[in-house]
Structure 1
């Protein structure tokens, strides 16, 4: 009787990747024929398997489906099914399946955006993630700091990180100005924050990080940020070949699945913390619309036109009638003449400044 490793069968059933299934077996969550499973157990097709007490329908290697979707992850989303803090996860955006689950092919941290692949085939996911397969991952990186050839040479030759040696297989400058320059880098494994840590080992900081390629799949315009698209038969075959698996026909969607996927298709939710252009306007701008906006809203009435003409005459018109402008101006000139008489009196009195009689002399000069 043919047998297979338990974690491999569970991954093929769409319960998770092999690594996740190994963790579940180690935690005692898996039972086979009524007994708690152990790492290294092998099972046959007729075995009775439960996960957390729930029976699992096993699939042969030929019966399991192989769908793959490409998701364009925005910053701020987690690569987990559920978050205890209620933060947004990538699985909230994916199309719903009947009897299967989406398995993430690799992860991206919360501050990294770009290409994520999901599949229903656990074996495909495991092989594409395993370091021994050396599947290329390409990232676009914006770096703060002056990058020199010595920095690039060190990262290509390899540096020692906390969890072992790491290196880029390729580093190419990709534009930008000043201290913020874009690079494209290629790496063969997917350790936690490995791209960022490689740059940090050279005293440089990554300000933006986006995955643009995984193996043979490039991020393209079919999926904008927060959207997904299903890969076609040729794209799935190329991934299968990279993983060393036999090609398998992508099953057609049933009418119910088509309707459900159409409802779920690209159901975008705004990323928290990002405002729309209208919402980004300042309060002052909102409270004071432009004149052209008011004119477009309604025509100006004759009374409003008269009021505008009055207001254009200046602030003085609100306190003094127009007929009093001459007398008001004449009074000012007379006051100036009285002021000149005061100055003459000061000269006759000897130009004494600060004298107690000086104000009286200025008054007398004014009366003459």
Structure 2
């Protein structure tokens, strides 16, 4: 069935647009709070976004601390925003992060990121609750609620983080006691709330540690202070959320309405009283079931001179072939540039292009006349003359 044409607006119709119904009883709400509820970031990030001047209210640049009502038109870079004046239940996604992926959306080295596999959502974005370095695996939580993410990550709430650590060597009782008491690191004192030995084989031993901070590489640095390098680090719990045993490395899990409601109550946030958002058939299928995400289509390296092909799929073999072609071209350019840098007497004379000559015309295949071709009449005439 053919797709109908989009109805064009009549340019002669100069009638003004219908005014939006203004509710006099509407309670104004803070703009940065609504932006955080919509999943665009934390409240502090939204305050910085408003201060940058990219958001307008009814055509005027918004100021920090501005309030809006449902009848106001809010735009971000001229794109209209749908703010949740009646908050909906946020989405929460669990991911068993493997080693080799970074938790960042902007990486100049173009390494594999956890955000490359996240499912797309409308009117918002995924916010990573906490970070894990590239060599750390385990539980990683994503949500569309900036307030819920702030409740997990803000230092004043001191949410517990539990890790399974494998080190090379074994700690003594005195060292374990000192790790719980506290030691001095480069960025201040640090300690574990608890540490318990979990056994091990050979030179490797496992430990279960719990702490309430999320400083950069804090667990690794605490063990390295006693010359015990960490060879494996897995986060198994973040606050009330445990890493499900059925969630294998590289897999994701959407939490259901009941689990998300429990997290909102744990975070002491208001649970929406309205009806839940209608889910599509695909969202209902994934809800509560473990699935393996698909990575986004590969993009070429901009430094190599390759551009993205957009919606066209590019296989790994074809990408490697194009990279080899680019390297050959670059090596040829370097060779020509080095040749140009040599003295004039050392350079070889450039080859003169051959002039296009007109190809010689092939002789026609002519048949040689033989004596047998002479007719009998001509022989008779010659005999009479003689």
TM range (shorter): 0.5 to 0.7
State the distance in 2 between where 1:23 and 1:110 align.
28
The structure 2 residue matched to 1:56, chosen from 57, 81, 104, is 81
User: Which has more radius of gyration?
Assistant: 1
What does 1:314-333 correspond to in 2, within 5 Å? none
Alignment correspondent of 1:216: 240
1:254 matched to which residue of 2? 280
State yes or no: 1:101 paired with 2:98.
no
Q: Does 1:12 align with 2:37?
A: yes
Match status 1:190 vs 2:214: yes
| 2:153 paired with 1:122 | no
Q: Structure 1 residues 63 and 206, CA, compared in 2 at 3 Å: closer, same or farther?
A: same
Separation of aligned partners in 2, 1:203 and 1:91: 34
Q: CA deviation at 1:83?
A: 3.0
1:256 to 1:231, Cα distance in 2 relative to 1, 3 A: closer
Post-superposition shift, 1:259? 7.1
Cα 1:31–1:204, aligned 2, differ >3 Å: closer, same or farther?
farther
1:237 Cα deviation after fit:
3.0
Following superposition, the deviation at residue 37 of structure 1 comes to: 4.0
Q: Give distance in 2, aligned partners of 1:164 and 1:32.
A: 44
**CA deviation map 1:71-93 (0-9, x unaligned):** 00000111123433222111222
C-alpha separation in 2, matches of 1:3 and 1:201? 53
Distance 1:155 1:260, change over 3 A: closer
CA distance in 2, matches of 1:65, 1:132: 25
Give the TM-score, by structure 2 length.
0.61
Deviation, structure 1 residue 117 = 0.7
Q: Which residue in the other structure is 1:112 paired with?
A: 136
For 1:232 and 1:7, locate their aligned partners in 2 and report how far apart those are by CA, in whole Å.
Answer: 27
Q: Corresponding residue for 1:179?
A: 203
| SS in structure 2 at match of 1:225 | coil
1-side partners of 2:248 and 2:77: how far apart? 37
Q: Against the structure 1 CA distance between its residues 168 and 48, is the aligned structure 2 distance closer, same or farther, given a 3 Å change threshold?
A: farther
2:257 to 233, 238, 262: 233
Is the Cα contact below 8 Å between 1:139 and 1:212 reproduced in 2? yes
TM-score normalised to structure 1 length: 0.64
Shift of 1:255: 2.7
| 1:50 and 1:56 in contact (8 A); partners too | yes
Deviation at 1:21, TM superposition (A): 3.2
Q: How does 1:254-333 map to 2 (within 5 A)?
A: 254-255=280-281, 257-258=283-284, 265-267=291-293
Indicate whether 1:21 and 2:37 are aligned: no
Correspondent of 2:107 among 66, 83, 90: 83
Note closer, same or farther for the CA distance 1:205–1:26 as it changes in structure 2 (3 Å cut): farther
